[in-house]
C-alpha cells in the first residue's frame, strides 16, 4: 500500500525554494574557500576548470528555470555584456 502525502504543492515548493536559497549560501562559502585555494596556487589551471564547469551548470540552470524565456545563448550574452 502506498503512503499518501499530506504535503501540498505550495508547501513543497516553499521547502524546495528554501533549500535552493540555503544551497546558494553554501555555494558562496565554497566559492570563497575555492578562491583562497586558487590564490595560494595561482598557476594551477585546475581551479579555473572547476569554475568553468560550475559556470556552465549555472548557465543551464538559469536557462531551465526561466521557462524557455531565456536560452543558454541569451544567458551567455547577458554575461558577456557585463564584461
pLDDT in tens, 5-60: 789 999 999 999 999 999 999 999 999 999 999 999 999 999 999 999 999 999 99
**Do residues 73 and 59 lie in contact, with contact meaning Cβ atoms separated by under 8 Å?**
no
pLDDT at 5: 73
3 in a domain, yes or no? Answer: no
Whether the full predicted model's pTM is greater than 0.75, yes or no, is yes
16 in a domain, yes or no? Answer: yes
Q: Could you tell me the residue range of the domain that residue 19 belongs to?
A: 10-44
Does 1 score more than 70 pLDDT?
no
On whether both 33 and 16 belong to a single domain, the answer is yes
If one compares 4 and 25, the residue with the highest pLDDT of the two is: 25
5 in a domain, yes or no? Answer: no
On whether both 15 and 36 belong to a single domain, the answer is yes
pLDDT at 41: 96
On whether both 52 and 75 belong to a single domain, the answer is yes
Cα separation of 50 and 46, whole Å?
Answer: 6
24 in a domain, yes or no? Answer: yes
On whether both 52 and 83 belong to a single domain, the answer is yes
On whether both 16 and 39 belong to a single domain, the answer is yes
Cα separation of 2 and 68, whole Å?
Answer: 35
The torsion defined by the Cα of 20, 21, 22 and 23, in degrees rounded to 10, comes to 50
Amino acid at each position: 500500500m502506498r503512503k499518501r502525502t499530506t504535503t501540498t504543492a505550495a508547501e513543497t515548493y516553499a521547502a524546495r525554494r528554501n533549500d535552493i536559497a540555503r544551497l546558494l549560501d553554501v555555494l558562496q562559502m565554497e566559492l570563497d574557500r575555492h578562491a583562497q585555494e586558487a590564490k595560494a596556487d595561482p598557476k594551477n589551471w585546475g581551479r579555473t576548470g572547476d569554475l568553468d564547469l560550475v559556470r556552465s551548470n549555472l548557465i543551464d540552470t538559469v536557462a531551465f528555470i526561466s521557462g524557455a524565456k531565456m536560452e543558454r545563448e541569451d544567458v551567455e550574452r547577458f554575461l558577456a555584456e557585463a564584461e
